[in-house]
Amino acid sequence: MTSPLLDSNELTLIRYWLNGIPMDTLADFCGDDKPTDVIAELRARLLLKSRRLHMDWGVNWLERNTSGDGIGLALNRVGQLQLAEDIPSELSQPLAYWLADGLLEKLAPAKLALVSEWQALYHTHGSHGWWQEIPGLGAVTAKAIEQQLVRHFPDALTKPAPPLVVLQTDVVPLDQFLLPDPLNGADGSNRSPNQPFIPASDDYQAISCWLARLEPGSHTLRSYQREAERLLLWAVLAQQKALSSLNMVDMAAFRAFLADPQPAALWIGPPQKRGQANWKPFTGPLSQRSRRFSETVLNGLFNFLVAQRYLMHNPLQALAKLKAPNGHSHIGTHRSFTEDQWWQISAFLDRQAGEGCGEVRQKWLRTRLIVQLAYGTGMRLHELAQATLGDLEVRQRKGKTQYWLSVLGKGHKIREVPLPLSLYLLLAETYPLLTGRQINRPTDGHPLIPPLRGPDSKPLTPLALHKVIKEAFSLAAKDLQDEHPETAEKLQAASAHWLRHTHGSLAVDRNIPLPMIRDNLGHSNIATTSHYVHADDDARHDAFADSF
């Protein structure tokens, strides 16, 4: 049997209120609460149930100032609602079924229609942050909304468990791949007879140990996982061999496979998020540069497994290395912007940050800060993502003020990167506009690049930073297309990493010594940094340009 909507005291209170009994007298039924608040809450319950049951009574049927007949009609309707069976609560129902009009109005700017939409917003931004981007909605009203919904949806604030991952021996991402027992590598022909140093009894566990050394969420982790994933899937599904049974001949076949993954319908598809039903490990054949990168990564995997006494030997060692395409260095220094192109990009960002308003302006202020930080420091995206205000340091040296940023780079090595004065001033100007917080009064945990959804939101991931920069490049390309088509063409092809290359290339052009550039970029070897030196190529080009 459905429990009554109002208990006996509440029902008496509504009846007395409808009959015009003075509020002072009604206070005896309300304990320590104000009669107006209690009546408002009871009316909301009745009105919402009539809405859920689609009672066609209009909007003014439960008013205090009514005639004798009106009072009787209202009391009769209250009685009907008391006895009527309510509908079961479901997340797919409208919020208007469960929230009073006053609370609904506060949520209106967010354009939420269903309980499930509110729940998704709540779990995306957390209990202390979900309401902060809704204009006019404060913490007290947000808590009232939560309490009202939890009354009908007790589990609404409990984050749903992630869907179960179904393991398959098929073309699926690595974390969904099920190694068949005969090909799991436990008895691989290349397995070392010694006890391995890593806790791995099969190839999947061995790959997991190799990946576990890398920074969570980093670009390096994602790219290394992708290459190991492709090899493991190919070995099991195409070659019908365990990864720990692969030999030199197999790796030569894999090299050919990367250049032309066949059958294409099985291996190639448009870009999709991992876990999507039509996800594929390739979007097309790999270029020579990409194949060379893949073999570099896999060579590191095999060397690691040999060093950990999991494998006897590295099957890639006997293959001749792929040549660098077109003689270009692996660092890709040609993928950078010239001085003039950089100023064109900077001018575009300044215009966007200056012209917008509200959320649009906030977005562009942060986008400009991200791009300028990536260019001005040469930091990798995962380094920017994990940097905090607490990593900033101001020093006084020889009568000058210096600004430094501590960076946790590759291999968990800490280095210090100088911030140019112009970049520090941009940070000092932009941060308060985004957060209301000054950078010289930090809490160590505040991210250097703040989220736009409030202080309790999660910091941006490297992938999120990459998407912000790519979107900015795409919009800049459209803006510059007519006046600067060459810059626009470059922007369309550019990735976030071009900013790091631009930093290194322009630093060389400005005659900054290579050891300083090496330390700034966090290169372990100055030979890597020397790839940014174009002087010999430039001189050779100039020598021949006008001679023939």
Q: Model confidence over 235-263: pLDDT tens digits? A: 999 999 999 999 999 999 999 999 999 99
C-alpha dist (Å) from residue 396 to 268, 296, 300, 423, 505: 57, 44, 43, 18, 29
210 membership: H or E segment, kind and range: helix 203-211
pLDDT tops 60 at residue 542: no
Sign of the C-alpha dihedral, residues 339, 324, 463, 518? negative
Question: Among the listed ranges 2-6, 194-198, 341-345, 427-431, which one has the minimum average pLDDT value?
Answer: 2-6
* Average pLDDT of the chain, as a whole number: 83
| pLDDT in the model for residue 263 | 94
In three state form, how does the secondary structure of 476-500 look?
HHHHHCCCCHHHHHHHHHCCCHHHH
**CATH fold label, 339-544:** hpI Integrase; Chain A (1.10.443)
Contact 255, 320 (CB under 8 A): no
Please, what's the b/e burial string for 103-140 (b: 16 or more CB within 10 A of its CB; e: otherwise)?
Answer: beebbeebebebbbbbbebbeebeeebbbbbbeebeee
Q: In what order do the strands lie in the sheet with 392-397?
A: 392-397, 400-408, 414-418
By C-alpha distance, which of 166, 172, 177 is closest to 277? 172
| pLDDT in the model for residue 543 | 43
| pLDDT in the model for residue 454 | 62
Helix, strand, or coil (residue 388): strand
Q: Which segments of the chain belong to CATH 1.10.443.10?
A: 339-544
Radius of gyration of the chain (CA): 32
| pLDDT in the model for residue 482 | 83
Summarize the chain as % helix, strand, coil (round to 5): 55, 5, 40
- What proportion of the chain, given as a percentage, has pLDDT over 70? 88
Q: What is the mean pLDDT of residues 47-58?
A: 86
CATH of domain 174-327: 1.10.150.130
pLDDT tops 70 at residue 513: yes
pLDDT tops 50 at residue 189: yes
Q: Which segments of the chain belong to CATH 1.10.150.130?
A: 174-327
* pLDDT level of residue 327 (50, 70, 90 thresholds): very low
Backbone angles phi, psi at 526, to 5 degrees: -70, -20
Please, what's the b/e burial string for 437-469 (b: 16 or more CB within 10 A of its CB; e: otherwise)?
Answer: eebeebeeebbbbbbeebbebebbbbbbbbebb
C-alpha dist (Å) from residue 15 to 77, 132, 140: 12, 40, 30
